[in-house]
Structure 1
Amino acid sequence: MKTALLFISFLCASLLIYGQQTINGSITHQSIQRTYILYVPASYSVGTPAPLVLNFHGYTSNANDQMFYGDFRPIADTAGFLLVHPMGTLDGSGNTYWNSNWGGTADDIGFTEALIDSLALSYNIDMGRVYSTGMSNGGFMSYTLACELSNRIAAIASVTGTMNFNQSAACNPLHPMPVMEIHGTADGTVPYNGTGSMESVANVMSYWVNFNQCNTGAIVTNVPDINTSDGCTAEHYLYQNGNNGVEVEHYKIINGGHTWPGAPIVIGTTNYDINASEKIWQFFAKYDINGKITSVNQLNNNGIEVTLYPNPTSSFINIKYKGLADFKNTIFRLYDLTGREVLLKKINSLPTQLEVSKYPKGTYIYRLKNSNTEFMGKIIVH
């Protein structure tokens, strides 16, 4: 697996050039130099607070491999979030790891908090929209942050990770925590049904459903089997109506291995009916640290405020500005989460109303821009 990931990293690096958008950085935490790879999309605007996604690699892997294998960069280009890939330290066996309550010595919780603060000094980060995801040990780390750094984390998603018994016993989040788990039933590294030290996926879902006080009965949907040659299928479990509107979601990959669905290479039985990165961002985009986002109200550095309402909506979106007299040549663009532009509208007067009922249900990203200001956010059509 490690060799395959190194190969794809080399191949992709040869084919794709991100220029100034990809930054190798480091900070010093507890007298140890810790490194990371930051991806800043071209859509990032210093005048608009951007969400931050932490993407943690798996055991024995590294930040560069995770950037390519669990790739969020095309989504970040459209959605406008900053994407950071932290690098773990070496355990007693000389392998890279995250200290997710396995008895290691690295202060990875403190490092993560310091990394968030360091990035916030250089970039306009929406501190209420910091999310964590990761593969395998990186999934364990995301659960650790949900339990022990919940004051900084709005939502988490794990791919092929789970919680160990130490985590579940000591977990004490400060707010309802949206959680997504994507996991294969034939995972031989982190077994779906658990081990003597790892919780089963069912137990992890039950813990978060109960903690968030969601409906205990899931809405179960069979994911369309659009790729019949990948050797696996998928089911989606949705637990709704948690406190602050949060939900718990699970993609159960039937016969899936220890792999990232939709990955650019096959290193085991990999599902291609879903793209894990897309599903995770669709999940994250619904929440800030206070729970489900129910309205869009943004203030830029010039004191100009824009409000889009109602949100979610099933029919129309109303747009109004405060603090801006000249609305001429304002351009409104709406994108789906694959980056496809579905609406382009020139607006010469505000408030105004746009119809969105003709679009499929889901989350959309909007950009509102003129010569004076620019805003970006999300709209949910239901």
Structure 2
Amino acid sequence: MVKQSVLGLMLVFSISIHLSAQTKTMNIAGVNRTYIVHAPSGLNNPPLVFNIHGYNMDAQSEQSYTQMDKVADREKFIVVYPSAINKSWDLSGANDFNFILAIIDTVDKQYKIDKSRIYSCGFSQGGFMTFQLACRYSEIFAAIAPTSGNLSGNCTLKRPMSMRLTFGTNEGFSGGTAAFMQNVTKWIKLCNCPETPVVTSPYPSTNSRSLVTRLYYGPCDGGTEVIADSVRTGGHEWPMNTNDRINNSEETWAFLKKFSLKDGVAVNNQLIPSTAKVISATYSAGIIHLQGIEEQTPVQIVDTKGRLVANSIVNQSQISLKDMAQGIFFLRLRNDGSTPLTMKLLIN
């Protein structure tokens, strides 16, 4: 009886895995193409994330390597892992891009996805592919997060798009740190971002052992952001060890989920419902008066070039600052300890 019960549990577990992650096939230009769809239970108008493998990999290896299914199960979004022909993406031809577009249509027919929240991430050559998708289809993809991949050739965006790039400083591929930072420079120009980043090192600041440095450029046009996460001494990898790195799948989703193609009143590109409490900042006689911000909230004040002007703490709904110059400034904070906010402040 015990053996039968264990076997029954194994069968149920196997069936549940099969139902949430399915390998599918479609024909593109006369060639059968395969991809994996991981669709958690309880979906309602879900976002869609493409997770694109590197050279000499496939959908299955990317799924296993990045472990993004765990994040999708908790956050209720669909992950698609497409497979390239002969384990290599054709970045110059049309068929691979038509394959991705066809997957979007097919998945939408079955799951009724939120088409304003389609994203792409990828590792190595999958990062190259992610950049190309953004450059070709910025009206379709809301944001991207390549890892260890470069932006090749020219890029024109139909609209500003948020981008997060992750790389190791000791990569033996893709041109190293200089090439990756060239990608960042190109992207901040495309999105009209401040040229000087806000630096967090180590990132996260709560982990003194972390080898990760985060460069934040923003806010950029349209409320977009550009982030570069570099792993000191890191190789060609999708970092997952949170002892001295980050869980890249968690960080990727935390970044992507903030952005949508929908228009609306936004703080850091997150739509604010009309029922939300009012959040405001006004300046008078050396005092920034804040409404809707919790006490003891840390605040960064930066200028339009992204340069840090001051660090402060909210005390009695205000921040005391002396000798502030006239101009436009941005207040960056995390209200209630988790929700990232950026507010514009005019001093005249």
Q: Provide the C-alpha distance between the structure 2 equivalents of 1:311 and 1:142, rounded to a whole number of angstroms.
A: 37
Superposition TM-score, scaled by structure 1 size: 0.66
1:190 CA drift (Å): 2.1
Give yes or no for contact 2:224–2:269 (8 Å, CA) kept in 1: no
RMSD over aligned Cα atoms: 2.8
The structure that has the greater radius of gyration is: 2
Work out the CA distance in 2 between the residues paired with 1:273 and 1:15.
Answer: 32
Question: How does 1:275-286 map onto structure 2 within 5 Å?
Answer: 275-286=247-258
1:221 to 200, 213, 233: 200
Whole-angstrom CA distance in 2 between matches of 1:137 and 1:225: 32
Is the CA contact (8 Å cut-off) linking 1:260 and 1:276 kept in structure 2?
yes
Aligned to 2:229: 251
Q: In structure 1, what is the Cα distance between the partners aligned to 2:151 and 2:161?
A: 15
After superposition, the C-alpha distances for 1:82-118 in whole angstroms (9 at most, x for unaligned) are 110001112xxxxx111223xxx56211111111011
Q: Which runs of 4+ in 1 moved over 3 A?
A: 14-17, 224-228, 290-294, 310-315
User: For 2:275 and 2:77, how far apart are their aligned partners in 1?
Assistant: 20
Aligned counterpart, 2:171:
187
CA shift at 1:201, angstroms? 1.1
Give me the whole-angstrom Cα distance separating, in 2, the residues matched to 1:311 and 1:79: 27
Structure 2 length-normalised TM: 0.72
One-letter amino acid of the structure 2 residue matched with residue 248 of structure 1: V
CA contact (8 A) 1:160 1:258 kept: yes
CA contact (8 A) 1:76 1:82 kept: yes
Which residues of structure 2 form unaligned runs of 5+? 1-12, 280-291, 295-333, 344-348
Q: CA deviation at 1:193?
A: 3.6
Structure-2 separation of matches of 1:279 and 1:140: 19
CA distance, structure 2, for counterparts of residue 240 and residue 115 of structure 1: 32
Q: Partner of 1:98: helix, strand, or coil?
A: coil
Q: Residues 154-194 of structure 1, C-alpha deviation per residue, up to 9 Å, x if partnerless?
A: 11011111122x2xx2x111110111100001001223245
Do the aligned partners of 1:227 and 1:273 also contact (CA within 8 Å) in 2? Answer: no
Are residues 358 and 208 of structure 1, via their aligned partners in 2, closer, same or farther at CA, if it must alter by over 3 Å? closer
CA contact (8 A) 2:200 2:215 kept: yes
Residue pairs, 1:197-346, within 5 angstroms: 200-222=179-201, 223=203, 224=205, 226=207, 228=209, 233-262=211-240, 272-290=244-262, 292-296=268-272, 309-310=276-277, 314=293
1:36 correspondence with 2:35: yes
* The one of 124, 127, 139 aligned to 1:139: 127
Give the aligned length: 274
Aligned position for 1:158: 146
Question: Which residue is equivalent to 1:331?
Answer: none
The answer to whether the 8 Å contact 2:164/2:228 transfers is yes
Partner of 2:77: 81
Q: 2:91 is matched with which residue: 84, 88, 100?
A: 100
Instruction: Give the aligned residue type for 2:253.
Output: W
Give % identity: 27
